[in-house]
Chain A
């Protein structure tokens, strides 16, 4: 509860700065997501009200950009690159292996709240294809067989 209050206090600081500036919508949503980890309805309404942008439009922007999330994400965000280079090198089977291991679909979060599985379109590391990033750390030249060990490492880290 206290933590939640603190988040809204930080949001208020951002909204104060951009009050009435409709053109800053994407920027403000981005900052709000940094604070909350995702964009719950209440936060979208606060942003709409402060910037003077209709809530329908805010929701339209939030759902258009894959960068924005409307559900809380896991502690680790796994992103499988499905860009051309990674794809031809077998990223598809890596994605399948992850789905099977985590028991979630693309965009989903595991029940324990540890992992969120996503796809990306080229992270600019084609030389390392196929690539998986986890919270920004790049893991290159992956195979489906590498997945269980990789996930185990993060599970251990979380326990520690």
Chain B
């Protein structure tokens, strides 16, 4: 341990801690625009500078390690002036269109301009005016708003290992860009949106699709159905000032009804259906001897990662569509017929924690209902925008229940929102189907849940011992895939594209008070815990016990993996290059 003095206060921290972290520990809020703990400790923004006794120049506290007896001052006139100047320089080449900006009121640069009482920008000069990149349907970039903090590079390269971004050019021309200055749509971007989550400004965010939803809601000809992903109910509250992990299921449903949706359904229902289909797909593989491992397919970010970086593994990926895509296909067939609505005038809206799902619905395969299965995907953040726009007092809305029949779900469907949830839900069902006994969850909880990058367990089945693995974040997926390629045997591997699973999705709330936490898993853990707690209160905890699931097989699908299941609920994948041009053979 090392003891140092910051602003006359003594603080003792482990060796290797940065001055910034030490200061935060005692409540001294050193500002930063680039720092992400353990991920992006590069000192580029210069806003975190401090005075260190004995050092002639100011030092970036995020990269300055503590030392015994160090004397640090964080609020001298010299420090404050330097911070103001750094901010003013950043602002001098910033568009400053805050009022009509996507991150208005939720921008770290704007917040610091406010905090430092910046009322004028004395620097005038040339501005770079790079065009926006609006080609991708999942993630868009406004490079003019980029402050070159490099957080996106860090998260994409270190956590996701998709390596989309790099710092390019130099000096005044330097910027962050995909290879060859191409659009995100033209490189091996997996559309996970993790870059948008860490961006301090609006340089990277999802394209706004709320307009399409409003238009559908206001069109009397349209029958508008909404579904919400499992994790939304434990994250949306954060947008309205509630604590991380607050469960707001009832308010969420009430808000959606008040926005004008004709039916408010739950993606958890089709998560249950996923377990039925994928569970039987896996059991078939157990019967016929493979191919193993069976890889999960719920996460479109992960699926696209696999297509670009591990196309040779695609035959291992479950053919089951992601739950919300299944939902779309069923809403426009089974449900449309049942309620006598022409599917041509039905609009299916998905509220997802995910930017990759915006890409997924535009895949040509996702039209098995005869229409676009899902019409619009909006993120948790976009739903919050709509709720604010409608003037709803979200927190105080009386709680309401999902509509039947596509709103009835088991706890197994709910825990899809956290890493390990899909596999746990699958085990609850396949174990019981095969052995006739309940899956002994307590003895597996530790190995299936939690935020370790890689998790695994062994389960005794009548067919023999099966080994299961879990990875979240595509960087961890890469690790487990490399293990598999090196010969390690797994039978069933769950992969979610985002760190923490959907609770850490690229479309989840971005909170200024979470600044710097992105490298830690803390807040994702809080959200996941809420899912596990909430599922205990549900009447059913296993997908195969969901009465509406039984009913849809009885009335419509027949049995898992039936012909109609295959037509509506299963899909195929496309091998893609990891390079912008097809690779030249040398």
Question: CB within 8 Å of B: which residues of A?
Answer: 8, 11-12, 15, 41-42, 44-46, 48-50, 54-60, 63-64, 66
Contact = CB atoms under 8 A, between A and B. Distances in A.
Nearest to A50: B586
B44 to A, nearest CB: 14
A36 to B, nearest CB: 13
Given A11-B586, A57-B163, A59-B180, A49 B170 contact: no
Contacts of A59: 166, 168, 179-180
B241 to A, nearest CB: 38
Given A46-B583, A56-B166, 13 more contacts: A8-B584, A8-B586, A44-B180, A54-B163, A55-B580, A56-B179, A57-B163, A57-B166, A59-B180, A60-B166, A60-B167, A64-B167, A66-B170
A49 B309 CA distance: 12
A42 B584 contact: yes
Interface in B419-467: none
B579 A60 contact: no
B179 A12 contact: no
Give the size range of B's interface with the partner.
20 to 34
A41 B579 CA distance: 10
Nearest to A59: B179
B91 to A, nearest CB: 26
8 contacts: A8-B584, A46-B584, A48-B579, A49-B579, A50-B586, A55-B163, A57-B166, A59-B168
9 closest cross-chain pairs (CB), A and B: A54-B163, A60-B166, A56-B166, A59-B179, A12-B586, A55-B179, A63-B168, A56-B179, A63-B169
Nearest to A60: B166
B417 to A, nearest CB: 31
B164 interface: yes
Contacts of B163: 54-57
A66 B174 CA distance: 13
Contact of B579 (A8, A45, A63): A45
A106 to B, nearest CB: 13
A65 to B, nearest CB: 8
Nearest to A46: B586
Contacts of B179: 44, 55-56, 58-59
Contact of A54 (B157, B169, B583, B586): B157
Contacts of B578: 55
Main secondary structure, interface of A, reads helix
Contact of B165 (A15, A56, A58, A64): A56
B178 interface: yes
A50 B167 CA distance: 21
A64 to B, nearest CB: 5
A63 B586 contact: no
B581 A41 contact: yes
Contact of A56 (B169, B178, B581, B584): B178
Contacts of B579: 45, 48-49, 55
**Residue from A11, A46, A54 having most chain B Cβ neighbours under 10 A:** A54
Contacts of A12: 586
Contacts of B169: 63-64
B166 A41 contact: no
Contacts of B580: 41, 45, 55
Nearest to B165: A56
A49 B165 contact: no
Contacts of A66: 170
Given A54-B157, A56-B179, A59-B179, A45 B167 contact: no
A45 B584 contact: yes
Nearest to B584: A42
A12 B169 CA distance: 27
A46 B584 CA distance: 7
Contacts of B584: 8, 42, 45-46
A81 B167 CA distance: 27
Interface string B137-171: 00000000000000000000100000111111110
A140 B323 CA distance: 72
A70 to B, nearest CB: 9
A108 B157 CA distance: 34
B168 A64 contact: yes
Contacts of A58: 179
A42 to B, nearest CB: 5
B498 to A, nearest CB: 20
Contacts of B166: 54, 56-57, 59-60
Interface string B462-476: 000000000000000
Contacts of A45: 579-581, 583-584
Contacts of B170: 63-64, 66
Contacts of B157: 54
Nearest to B173: A63
Contacts of B178: 56
Contacts of B586: 8, 11-12, 15, 46, 50
A62 B584 CA distance: 19
A38 B211 CA distance: 46
A43 to B, nearest CB: 8
Nearest to A48: B579
A8 B166 CA distance: 26
Nearest to A58: B179
A69 B359 CA distance: 35
A21 to B, nearest CB: 16
A119 to B, nearest CB: 13
Contact of B583 (A49, A57, A60): A49
B475 to A, nearest CB: 13
